[in-house]
Structure formats: structure tokens, C-alpha cells
Structure 1
Amino acid sequence: MGNNLLKGKRGIIFGALNDMSIAWKVAEMAKEEGATFTLSNTHVACRMGEVVNLAKKTDSELIPADATNVEDLENVFKKSMEVLGGKIDFVLHSIGMSLNVRKKRVYHDLDYNYLQKTLDISAISFHKMLQVAFKLDAFNEWASVLALSYVAAQRTLYGYNDMADAKALLESIARSFGYILGREKKVRVNTISQSPTITTAGSGVKGFDGLMDFADRMSPLGNANAEDCARYCMVMFSDYTRKVTMQNLYHDGGFSSMGMSMRAMKQYNKSFDTGDVDDMY
């Protein structure tokens, strides 16, 4: 049962792919909290993926779009306002993909065509989304826009590759557009820096299982999962956070403030007992 945090609010959720997706959990929870919304993903995902089932489950219109295509995004916002009966109160950008990661290209041997795609899909799509909404005057006052980020935007994490560059750009866009949308439209724009989370995209990162375990051992509260993140999104979409904007909000069990935890140190010391020192590098 929800608490009607989003009762009467209208939104758009980009990026729900399957029930592992954070965006999927956000959609389910937003429905429980009284919101109406549309869903958007790529044409292929909408045609062949599981998101069709989510649309039925949440009584939502599914609008196919390439998030890097301005015309597609214009259609999403126009159709969403038409279907939902008014301007938009919240948007989730949960979009990220790196061909360099998928093709196992290391950071010092990137394919630059792949890099351009990484930045366009994972970050510049956010700018395009906000610019389209701004020009269409698609937001209600005090609307809330969220994009999902990761601590690799600030810190180097082995294997995260060019996605770290994309997340840094994503957070910069949130600050720059957050100022403009706040000043002109009273709209909030924030990023949520989430714990490593088992999703279709996250699982493609090299050594992801080890990263999950390390973060969990380092975090005093442990990793935040997809449902935890969805709950945080509900608060950020609600009227309780009207004056929070242009922030990168860490939702990671305390990982971002840690240097070394007791649990991580114990595991580190075990590596000396086995003589497996090379694994530390």
C-alpha cells in the first residue's frame, strides 16, 4: 500500500526494460503512490521487450522513442501531455549504455565512435530531454526531474570505463539545466548516485560481482537495491523535496563517505593468507 505521495501527479519514466530495472521498480511504486504516467523506451524494447507487460500492469501508455532523437522526444512529451491530460510533474531518466564496455574495450584503448554513442545515449540524451521539455513548456511548477548516476563520476572505479565520463557529464547537465529550469519554471533537477545495482546494464561492467561485494562490505548500511532507490525517487518526486535541486544525491548506504571499513579490511587481509596478492591490483 502506498501513502499517496504522488496522488494527482503526472510523469514520464524513461528506461524501464525488465523487472531488474530501477525504472521498472519506480513505475510500480509510482502507481502505488497514486501517480499516472507514460513509459518510454527504444522502439525495439517496446516491440519485443517486457516493458509491454509493465504498461499493462500500471495502466500506462507506452511511447517508443530513441532518447538521442529530438523529434522522438518531442513526440513523447506532446503525447504524454495529451494522454495524461496536462503538464508533467516528474520525469525519470534511467538510460545508459556503453559499447566499449560491451565490446570489452579498456579505457586506454577506446573506440571513439563507441565513446560518442556512450555519451549521447547515457548523458546528452538527458540534455535533449530537458531542452525539449523546456521549449514545449511541458513542466508544471515544482516538477521534479531525476537521472540515475554513479559514484564513478567522482572516483575512479576499475572496469567502469567510459561510463564514468558519461555520468560526470550527466551530473553537469543536471546542475546547468537545474539552474535554468529552476529560475524560469520552478522545476527541480537532480541526480541520484545509486549503489551498484544488479540490472541488465550494470551486469555488463567487468568484475561487477566483485564491485557489488566490495561496495557492500564498505557501506555501513550495505548496498541500496532497486526497490530502495525507487522509494527514494518517490520522495524526490513528491512535494516534500520542493527546494532540493541541482544536487547529486548519494544513495549508497554510506559508501561515498567511506575510506576503509572493518569488513573490507578483513577481506583484504585474507588475500595475504592465501598468497593471492596479484588479485589486489
Structure 2
Amino acid sequence: MAYNLLKGKRGIIFGALNDASIAWKVAERASEEGAQIVLTNTPVACRMGTIDELAKKTNATIIPADATSVDDLEKLFVQAQEVMGGKIDFVLHSVAMSVNMRKKRTYDDLDYGFLNKTLDISAISFHKMIQTAKKLDAINENGSILALSYVAAQRTFFGYNDMADAKSLLESIARSFGYIYGREKGVRVNTISQSPTFTTAGGGIKGFDGLYDFSDRMSPLGNASADECADYCVVMFSDLTKKVTMQNLYHDGGFSSMGMSLRGMTQYEKSFIDENRDENGKIIYG
């Protein structure tokens, strides 16, 4: 159901690759809510993905840009304003990649060249994007900037590797730039900490199936889907959240506040072999 929450607004969405992408879902929902949008991704991603299909569906313009290149970002913000006929009202940063994870390098055996790429693509690009937009005065007052994060920025998760460091930096950038941009232009900057979600990026995490199941069992509301995340992003782009800024907003079914759930404990207890139980079937600890 549409509520015209973004009627008359213009937005740029980074990172849509295929219909499994959260950015793809956000683009669909933003369009349904009345927004005019520009889609962007790296030139190679635009060629390899199915972004043309999304552009047709949402009546969007595609402007390829490498989010780590300031030159590309400058061209993107200038062209986006020309295409849409005015300043930008909202931006979604849904960009992340770890070469170390792809190469199966563990956290205690990182390639530092790969680490630099992880940080540049997954976090520093967010800073470059905001700084470029601010210098060009490309975003309207009371605009909204979002990036997608994960609870591994605060807690340790097996297999999440150097992406945890990148998400920590991403959230710090949102706070630091949120103060400056909010003070000067009323532009709000936030991150959304989403549940594990089956996307192209998520599939590269070691043991992702187990992580997804664990999170779902621990969360009282279960994992939040990509479609539900898109709904939340739309609310954050809208005028309903004008005073929300510098926040990391958990959208994870309650996972981030849990210690142990009944479903989690039940599954855990099932994992004990018979020799760890007494004659009455009770688990022997210790």
C-alpha cells in the first residue's frame, strides 16, 4: 500500500544490482511512494546486473559511478540534479564488499591491501559521497541520507571478518557528518542496522546460513526482510522523521537487545549428544 510519503521528492540510490538487493527493494518502494529517483552503481555492476530492468520499472535514470571516486561522485550529483530538475532530497548508500572475505582470508591473517579496499568501498565511500554532496550543495535542506549497517559494528560475529571494522567506521561517519550537515543544512544522516539478509553481498559471508538461522531464532519478531527494510528506509526518507539524525537504527526484529531466546536455547540443547545427559535425559553442564 502506498501513502505518497515521498511525493515530489528526488533521490539517489546506490548499490542496486539485482532483485535480491536491498537497494533494489528500496528503489521500488521509493518509486511507489511518489519519488523520482536516479540509480547508480559501478560501471561494471551496471553491465553485469539487471539494473536496466529496475530502471524501467521505476522510471528511473541510471548514472554509473564508482562510489570510491570523488570525480565520479561529482559528475553523479551534478547529472542527477540536471536529470531530475532540482536538488536531491534523499540518498541511500548500500555499498559493501570485502576482498578478504572473498579470498577466504581470516581476520588474523588479513591482506592489508584488501583491508584498505574493504574500508574504502564499504565505509570511506560514504564519507566521500556526503562530502561531495555538501560541497556541491546538492541536497535540499531537511534532506535524508542513509547507509546500511549491521550489528557486527558493536559485537563480534564469527565469519564477518573485516566488514565489522568497515561497519564501525560507517556508523562513526554518520555521527560525525550528521552533526555538521544537520547544524548547517538540517540534513539528517543515519544508519540502519539490518537483520542478516539473503543478498549477493550476504552470500559471501562464511557460515551465512547458520548466522541467518541463529538470528531468526533469537529475534522475538524474527529476521527483517529486504522488503521490510525498504519500508523503513522510506519512512526515514520522509518528512515524518525530520528530527532523527546521527542514529544507528536497529531493524532486526529485536535481535540487538536479546541475550538468549527460548527458540535459541531449545535448538542449543538439541545439539548435546546423549553422553552429556543423565539417566533422566537432563543435560549435564560443566
Aligned-partner Cα distance in 1 for 2:247–2:54: 30
Q: How does the TM-score come out when normalised to structure 1?
A: 0.97
Aligned-partner Cα distance in 1 for 2:272–2:235: 44
Indicate the residue corresponding to 2:120 in structure 1. Answer: 120
Larger-Rg structure: 2
Indicate the residue corresponding to 1:279 in structure 2. Answer: none
Q: In the TM superposition, what is the alpha-carbon distance from 1:113 to its structure 2 partner?
A: 0.4
Letter in 1 for 2:26: V
Q: Which runs of 4+ in 1 moved over 4 A?
A: none
Q: % of aligned pairs identical?
A: 75
Indicate the residue corresponding to 2:191 in structure 1. Answer: 191
SS of residue matched to 2:155? coil
Letter in 2 for 1:245: T
Aligned-partner Cα distance in 2 for 1:14–1:147: 10
| 1:273 maps to 2:269 | no
Q: Deviations over 1:174-226 (max 9, x none)?
A: 00000000001110000000000000000110000000000000000000010
Indicate the residue corresponding to 1:24 in structure 2. Answer: 24
Indicate the residue corresponding to 2:66 in structure 1. Answer: 66
RMSD over aligned Cα atoms: 1.0
Indicate the residue corresponding to 1:41 in structure 2. Answer: 41
Aligned-partner Cα distance in 1 for 2:102–2:58: 31
Q: In the TM superposition, what is the alpha-carbon distance from 1:274 to its structure 2 partner?
A: 6.1
SS of residue matched to 1:272? coil
Q: In the TM superposition, what is the alpha-carbon distance from 1:273 to its structure 2 partner?
A: 3.2
- Structure 1, unmatched stretches of 5+, are 277-281
How many residues align? The count is 276
| 1:211 maps to 2:211 | yes
Q: Deviations over 1:80-110 (max 9, x none)?
A: 0000100000000000000000010000000
Q: In the TM superposition, what is the alpha-carbon distance from 1:47 to its structure 2 partner?
A: 2.1
Indicate the residue corresponding to 1:10 in structure 2. Answer: 10
Correspondences of 1:198-237 after superposition (within 5 Å): 198-237=198-237
Distance 1:217 1:82, change over 3 A: same
Letter in 2 for 1:269: E
Aligned-partner Cα distance in 2 for 1:273–1:210: 20
Indicate the residue corresponding to 1:84 in structure 2. Answer: 84
Letter in 1 for 2:155: R
Q: In the TM superposition, what is the alpha-carbon distance from 1:57 to its structure 2 partner?
A: 1.1
Aligned-partner Cα distance in 1 for 2:250–2:274: 35
Indicate the residue corresponding to 1:110 in structure 2. Answer: 110
Letter in 2 for 1:189: V
Q: How does the TM-score come out when normalised to structure 2?
A: 0.95
Indicate the residue corresponding to 2:101 in structure 1. Answer: 101
Aligned-partner Cα distance in 1 for 2:182–2:275: 55
Aligned-partner Cα distance in 2 for 1:118–1:124: 9
